[in-house]
Each structure stands twice: as structure tokens, then as C-alpha cells.
């Protein structure tokens, strides 16, 4: 694990937002969870990996109303 990723994971508990899983984000966008995984793998969606279970986590404030999504 690199220094940058480690510091990101260390900030999880200190972040004011809430984290969404792949399935939660898929429900929010009304798409299949595999679509979310593809978007994350391509870099289209910013995410981190949970340090223990390796689930992808997405910060909910990245997807709030009024935020630009290209």
C-alpha cells in the first residue's frame, strides 16, 4: 500500500461525509452494480478501498445534488 493510499484510508474516520458501497450507489443512480464497478475501474468514479474488506467506498458528497457529473 502506497503512502498516498494509506493517508487516504487514515482520513476515513475524520471525513465529514458518509461512505456509500457499490450497491448503494447503484441504487442511487438506478444502474446495475457492475456498471458502478466499471466506472470505478475506468477512473470515472473516485473511490477508495476499505482497509479490511477491500470494498469500494464512494464519498456521498461527491454525488450530492447540484454537483457537476460529466
Can you give the pLDDT at residue 61? Answer: 87
Residue 64: which pLDDT band, with cuts at 50, 70 and 90? confident
Helices (runs of H) and strands (runs of E) counted in the chain: 3, 3
Report the alpha-carbon distance of residue 24 to residue 57 in Å, rounded: 10
Domains (range + CATH), the chain: 3-63 (1.10.1660)
Q: Please, what is the average pLDDT of the chain?
A: 81
CA distances from 37 to 26, 32, 54 (A): 9, 9, 13
Can you give the pLDDT at residue 63? Answer: 82
Give me 11's grid cell: 482520513
Strand order in the sheet with 56-59: 19-20, 56-59, 48-49
Can you give the pLDDT at residue 52? Answer: 94
Can you give the pLDDT at residue 62? Answer: 86
Can you give the pLDDT at residue 38? Answer: 97
Rounded to two decimals, what is the model's pTM?
Answer: 0.68
Amino acid at each position: 500500500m502506497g503512502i498516498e493510499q494509506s493517508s487516504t484510508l487514515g482520513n476515513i474516520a475524520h471525513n465529514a461525509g458518509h461512505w456509500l458501497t457499490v450497491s448503494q450507489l447503484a441504487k442511487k443512480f438506478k444502474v446495475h452494480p457492475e456498471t458502478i464497478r466499471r466506472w470505478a475501474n475506468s477512473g470515472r468514479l473516485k473511490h477508495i478501498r476499505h482497509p479490511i474488506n477491500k470494498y469500494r467506498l464512494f464519498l456521498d458528497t461527491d454525488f450530492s445534488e447540484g454537483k457537476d457529473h460529466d
